[in-house]
Amino acid sequence: MALLKKINSNAKAEINTGFGVDSNDYGGRFVNKDGDANIEKRGVAFFERISWYHTMLAWPRWKFFSSIFIFFISINILFALIYFIVGVDHLSGIVYGTQVEKFLEAFFFSCQTFTTVGYGRINPVGFIASGTAALEALMGLLSFAVVTGLLYGRFSRPKAYLRFSENALLAPFKDITAIMLRVAPFKNNTLVDAEAKLTLGMTLEEDGKMVNKFFQLPLEYDKVNTLTLSWTIVHPITETSPLYKFTPYDFANSRGEFLVFIKAFDDMFSNTVVARSSYTFQEVIMGGKFNPMYKRSLEGNKTILYMDKLNSYTQADISFANADQSSAAE
């Protein structure tokens, strides 16, 4: 209850946040570091609650292409087994040898049929073998149509391509302190009219019950015309901030999370893109200051943005002169 009293009365909590209010029904953080909601859905069948299209679009490249390769090999092994069971003597043109060689011939014939290449050296003979080859050719056409759609979706889907700093900082800002986090684009796309929104989510005791409260945090700048370099998002902790009287003890012993949302316009796709992440109180470094991550090139004709310095910071002294130190003794 003492922590609730520290929340500035001028900081009005948001109601329609989309997150639960009763903290007893909510577990873990609100948003994962990658921006996904920390939600697990149950009460519905697994294949019904999973969108494979969205899942495969979000997979990393190695996983996406590995899954395609594994599917291609597996489906052709399956059909090779079917041809082998039907009898390789129903495949005209196979050079007979050992059982392994026969299976490999059936496997490569399956690959040719699945991809509709059809070199012509081997061809099915008989109704069963021909029917199997026709079914496989149809599956091949459908599979490549799906893969083509997925590839197009991956390459055409607009993304923000932004990276967030690993930690947020409680840093000196003018004559006060501020919550700071940094974001930067890592691809060669151009983002314009970028907007940032920072929300504080906290678990507080109210009337003997633990509840989730959310506060919209005002920023030094919540819009930039062009996001080409790094952008340090700053929430000054002024007298109107819900964090005005917070101490290091409060940050270390409270359950809180900063939710950051960024929306921008990608002029290449003529579409709006979004990015999001979050920082728990335990991921906030007390007394830090971000180091510059870009500078002029040696030739003086370009600006170099060092993405490996996104989370680079140095220690800095901060003052808690406005904080209520009584919480340290609680």
Look at residue 12 in the predicted model and tell me its pLDDT: 60
- Domain boundary among the residues 156, 184, 203 is at 156
d(CA 170, CA 179): 5
105 with 219, same domain: the answer is no
Residue 230 and residue 293 in contact, taking contact as beta carbons nearer than 8 Å: yes
Helices 127-156 and 99-114, axial angle in degrees (round to 10): 60
| Domain range for 293 | 2-40+159-329
Look at residue 325 in the predicted model and tell me its pLDDT: 45
192 with 62, same domain: the answer is no
14 with 123, same domain: the answer is no
The answer to which of 73-87, 159-173, 208-222 has the lowest mean pLDDT is 208-222
Q: Give the Cα-Cα-Cα angle 195, 55, 168 (nearest 5 degrees).
A: 40
Here the CATH number for the domain that contains residue 250 is: 2.60.40.1400
Here the CATH number for the domain that contains residue 66 is: 1.10.287.70
72 with 172, same domain: the answer is no
Q: Is the model's pLDDT at 329 over the cut of 50?
A: no
53 with 15, same domain: the answer is no
99 with 235, same domain: the answer is no
124 with 167, same domain: the answer is no
22 with 165, same domain: the answer is yes
Query: What is the tens place of the pLDDT at every residue in 267-284?
Result: 888 889 999 999 999 999
235 with 307, same domain: the answer is yes
- Domain boundary among the residues 89, 122, 156 is at 156
The strand pair at 191-206 and 223-227 is best described as antiparallel
Averaged over 144-149, what is the pLDDT?
Answer: 91
d(CA 146, CA 143): 5
287 with 206, same domain: the answer is yes
The pLDDT-based confidence of 23 (bands split at 50, 70, 90) is: low
Query: What is the tens place of the pLDDT at every residue in 63-76?
Result: 999 999 999 999 99
223 with 258, same domain: the answer is yes
Q: How many domains does the chain have?
A: 2
74 with 103, same domain: the answer is yes
pTM of the complete model: 0.74
- Domain boundary among the residues 135, 156, 177 is at 156
